[in-house]
């Protein structure tokens, strides 16, 4: 979740680090800090709150150091404060560290260190690392060995950067379950937890892999495994540039990314939906999946993910069951690993993660592999941990997603899952070629239909202007629409802080209807004509109790006349693929409510883009 940066070179490190941290603000944070080796002293400056407060703190100082580390923290141990902010140091201030992740045995280590006379300043688990490295350094007199020895005693996850007064030419880095990337410059090198922080300087990078260490100098980088053995690896090249991560005239990244969905969905399908010479869709081609035969004999599909990605999995459950007649279990990844799940060697196991670094999802992946299953990963980030550990990887090709609240990542995940379901249906004989081609043509038309919705966004904006002060918002739907309601409610609560919940429409009368009053908005998602009468009755039930009702539907026959206050009509599509369209007005509604309530939708409180801790 947190942002890590480091620099060794010939420029003023403080400005390089602060500018790099700005590129990582999208990850979510509650404090920021830097540590610079300036002459004989490590200067540590940190501040609670936005990065601007750190900038204000150092604005009057001349910090001449050319080597340093920086961090934006998202609190796990200890409240957000100046003291708990990173970097943390040993008692003498000769060693400074930044750390992402969680030290699970920190309490045990802290008690042991306190018995050695160490006095702690903060409430964090990270400070334990600073003192533990110092303890080992005093024994060995060599920094790399000290870090190496300290980490053998640590349980948990870390992306760790170490600056030491006695080693003014280098930084030591280590990684376990939290991402790190090294940017290779000309007479200078950069370190970060994510590529945007270094992209303005270089596209040539080393991704530090699981349980690796790195010693970063201004003119070269040495990679090692945890045993201290040197690792030789060619650097990678980042193909996308910073223009993709800029707002391009939009007021916020969230609305920019909502509008990027037609292109992102097209990119996701490109080369995967096969067309004949007449332009007719005929097949799905996933070159990433080498063994499609396993889909013919599989008993079921198991999907594990978190948050928005989990909601994509719930939609996929309906798609796989309808199109491929496969049993599907969808598990919240944070629960999956703890319940001793029943898995069969013939199960198809799919994990979904936008960042490819979601800690709970990685744990689910590892458990599945321990049980002998082959794992398919759906992710957006090349070089992420999930891509290295999964057996097969399907990239969503959504491009960089900066806003914390996911939009285009969700719809491109859905697109991948729909294509997989159609391919499975063909392989298993549950879909005829004619039926499969019909659904593929539907998918092929989705980007232009999303654009049609975006072109009519003023309808959603106008409705939001009337409803943004409601106390309670309930999303309801049936089947596919019930799954879409989950993501719609999450999006609204994430960025507007409005209390929103999702229910299967038929469940309203089994309890939730007790909450309905005049301060309630009910958003009904209704894309399935065979169920219009049923969900129409649900709309009537809540409206007679004082609720305002918005329906997102493809109905053009006034089937809901007298039961609603407003309708947003999506373009025609099959009820199977409608989830790719019904979510778009819900995303827009969440965005506009956020703006109307004076909230920055790109940086919702308490949230982070990449959840790399459990």
For the chain, what is the largest distance between any 2 Cα atoms, rounded to a whole number of angstroms?
80
Helix (H) or strand (E) holding 67: strand 67-73
pLDDT, position 381: 81
pLDDT band at 29 (very low <50, low <70, confident <90, very high): confident
- Confidence band (pLDDT; 50, 70, 90) for 340? confident
pLDDT band at 112 (very low <50, low <70, confident <90, very high): very high
Average pLDDT over residues 343-348: 90
pLDDT, one tens digit per residue, over 394-425 is: 999 887 788 889 999 999 999 999 999 999 99
3-state SS, one letter per residue, for 564-584: CCEEEECCCCCCCCCHHHHHH
Reduced to 3 states (helix: H, G, I; strand: E, B; else coil), residue 503 is strand
| pLDDT > 90: percent of the chain | 64
Here the tokens at position 492 are 């609204």
Q: What number of other Cβ atoms are within 10 A of residue 365's Cβ?
A: 28
Res 404: pLDDT = 87
Instruction: Read off the pLDDT of residues 120-142 as tens digits, 9 standing for 90 and up.
Output: 999 999 999 999 999 999 999 99
> What SS3 state is found at 44?
strand
Does pLDDT of 610 surpass 60?
no
Q: The tokens 């891509």 sit on which residue?
A: 387
Question: What are 484-524's pLDDT values in tens digits?
Answer: 999 999 999 999 999 998 988 777 778 877 778 888 898 98
* Mean pLDDT for the stretch of residues 38-50: 93
pLDDT over 90 (residue 310) = yes
Can you give the pLDDT at residue 608? 62
Q: What is the mean pLDDT of the chain?
A: 90
The tokens of 408 are what?
Answer: 């285009």
The answer to which of 73-82, 160-169, 337-346, 467-476 has the lowest mean pLDDT is 73-82
Give the list of residues 6+ apart from residue 528 with CB closer than 8 angstroms, or none.
Answer: 478, 479, 480, 481, 575, 578
Given a contact cutoff of 8 angstroms between Cβ atoms, the answer to whether 262 and 417 are in contact is no
What's the distance, CA 450 to chain centroid? 22
In the set 2, 306, 416, 593, the catalytic residue is: 2
Residue 240 scores a pLDDT above 70: no
User: 582 pLDDT exceeds 60?
Assistant: yes
SS3 201: coil
Would you state the pLDDT for residue 532? Answer: 82
For tokens 């070179």, name the residue: 9
* Among the listed residues 386, 404, 382, the one whose alpha carbon sits nearest the alpha carbon of residue 395: 382
Give the pLDDT score at 17. Answer: 97
Long-range CB pairs of 118-125 (<8 Å, 24+ gap) are: 118/91, 119/91, 121/83, 121/88, 122/78, 122/83, 122/84, 122/88, 123/77, 123/78, 123/79, 123/83, 123/84, 124/77, 124/78, 124/84, 124/86, 124/88, 125/76, 125/77, 125/156
pLDDT (tens digit per residue) in 418-457: 999 999 999 999 999 999 999 999 999 999 999 999 999 9
Structure letter (DSSP) for residue 355: S
Most confident of 206-210, 268-272, 294-298, 336-340: 206-210
Distance CA(153)–CA(150), nearest Å, equals 6
pLDDT at 86 over 70: yes
pLDDT tens digit sequence for 97-107: 999 988 888 88
- Tokens found for residue 595: 């703006």
| 213-232 confidence digits (pLDDT tens) | 999 999 999 999 999 999 99
φ and ψ at 143, to 5 degrees? -65, -45
Rounded CA separation 563/595 (Å): 28
Structure confidence by residue, pLDDT tens digits, 521-548: 989 898 888 888 888 888 888 888 878 8
Categorize the per-residue pLDDT at 53 as very low, low, confident or very high, splitting at 50, 70 and 90. Answer: very high
Instruction: Collapse the DSSP code of 439 into the 3-class scheme (helix H, G, I; strand E, B; otherwise coil) and give the result.
Output: helix
Active site residue 609: yes
164 included as an active-site residue:
no
Omega within 30 of 0 (cis) for the link into 111: no
Q: Name the catalytic one among 46, 48, 449, 609.
A: 609
């Amino acid at each position: 979740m947190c942002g890590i940066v480091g620099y060794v070179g010939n420029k003023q490190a403080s400005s390089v680090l602060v500018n790099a941290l700005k590129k990582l603000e999208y990850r979510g944070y509650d404090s920021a800090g830097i540590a610079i080796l300036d002459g004989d002293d490590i200067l540590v400056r940190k501040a609670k709150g936005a990065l601007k407060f750190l900038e204000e703190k150092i604005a009057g100082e001349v910090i001449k150091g050319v080597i340093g580390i920086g961090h934006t923290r998202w609190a796990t141990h200890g409240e957000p404060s100046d003291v708990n902010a990173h970097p943390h140091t040993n008692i003498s201030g000769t060693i400074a560290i930044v750390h992402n992740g969680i030290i699970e045995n920190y309490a045990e280590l802290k008690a042991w260190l306190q018995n050695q006379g160490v006095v702690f300043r903060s409430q964090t688990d990270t400070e334990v690392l600073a003192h533990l490295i110092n303890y080992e350094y005093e024994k060995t007199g060599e920094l790399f060995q000290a870090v190496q020895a300290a980490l053998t005693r640590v349980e948990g996850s870390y992306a760790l950067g170490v600056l030491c007064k006695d080693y003014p030419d280098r930084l030591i880095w280590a990684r376990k379950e939290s991402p790190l990337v090294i940017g290779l410059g000309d007479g200078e090198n950069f370190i970060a937890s994510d590529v945007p922080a270094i992209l303005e300087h270089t596209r040539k990078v080393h991704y530090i892999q699981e349980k690796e260490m790195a010693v970063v100098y201004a003119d070269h980088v040495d990679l090692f495994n945890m045993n201290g053995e040197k690792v030789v690896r060619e650097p990678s090249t980042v193909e996308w540039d910073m223009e993709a991560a800029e707002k391009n005239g939009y007021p916020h990244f969230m609305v920019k990314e909502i509008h990027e969905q037609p292109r992102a969905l097209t990119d996701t399908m490109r080369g995967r939906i096969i067309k004949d010479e007449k332009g007719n869709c005929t097949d799905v081609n996933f070159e990433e999946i080498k063994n499609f035969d396993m889909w013919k004999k599989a008993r079921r599909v198991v999907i594990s993910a978190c948050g928005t990605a989990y909601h994509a999995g719930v939609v996929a459950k309906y798609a796989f069951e309808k199109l491929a007649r496969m049993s599907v279990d969808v598990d919240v990844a944070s629960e999956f690993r703890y319940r001793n799940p029943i898995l069969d060697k013939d199960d198809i196991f799919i994990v979904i993660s936008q960042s490819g670094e979601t800690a709970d999802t990685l744990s689910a992946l590892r458990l599945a592999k321990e049980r002998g299953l082959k794992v398919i990963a759906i992710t957006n980030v090349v070089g992420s941990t999930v891509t290295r550990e999964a057996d097969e990887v399907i990239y969503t090709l959504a491009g960089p997603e900066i806003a914390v609240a996911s939009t285009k990542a969700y719809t491109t995940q859905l697109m991948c899952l729909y294509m997989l379901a159609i391919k499975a249906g063909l392989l298993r004989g549950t879909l005829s070629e004619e039926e499969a081609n019909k659904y593929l043509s539907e998918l092929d038309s989705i980007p232009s239909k999303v654009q049609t919705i975006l072109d009519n966004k003023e309808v959603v904006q106008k409705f939001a202007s009337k409803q943004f002060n409601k106390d309670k918002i309930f999303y309801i739907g049936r089947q596919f629409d019930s799954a879409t309601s989950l993501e719609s409610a999450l999006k609204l609560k994430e960025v507007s802080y409005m209390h929103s919940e999702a229910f299967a429409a038929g469940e309203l009368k089994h309890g939730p209807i007790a909450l309905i009053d005049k301060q309630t908005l009910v958003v009904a998602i209704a894309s399935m004509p065979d169920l219009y009468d049923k969900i129409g009755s649900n709309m009537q039930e809540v409206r007679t109790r004082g609720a305002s009702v918005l329906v997102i539907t493809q109905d053009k026959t006034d089937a809901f006349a007298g039961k609603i206050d407003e309708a947003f009509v999506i373009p025609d599509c099959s009820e199977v693929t409608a989830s790719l369209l019904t979510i778009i007005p819900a995303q827009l509604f969440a965005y506009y409510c956020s703006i109307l309530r004076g909230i920055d939708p790109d940086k919702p409180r308490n949230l982070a883009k990449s959840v790399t801790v459990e």
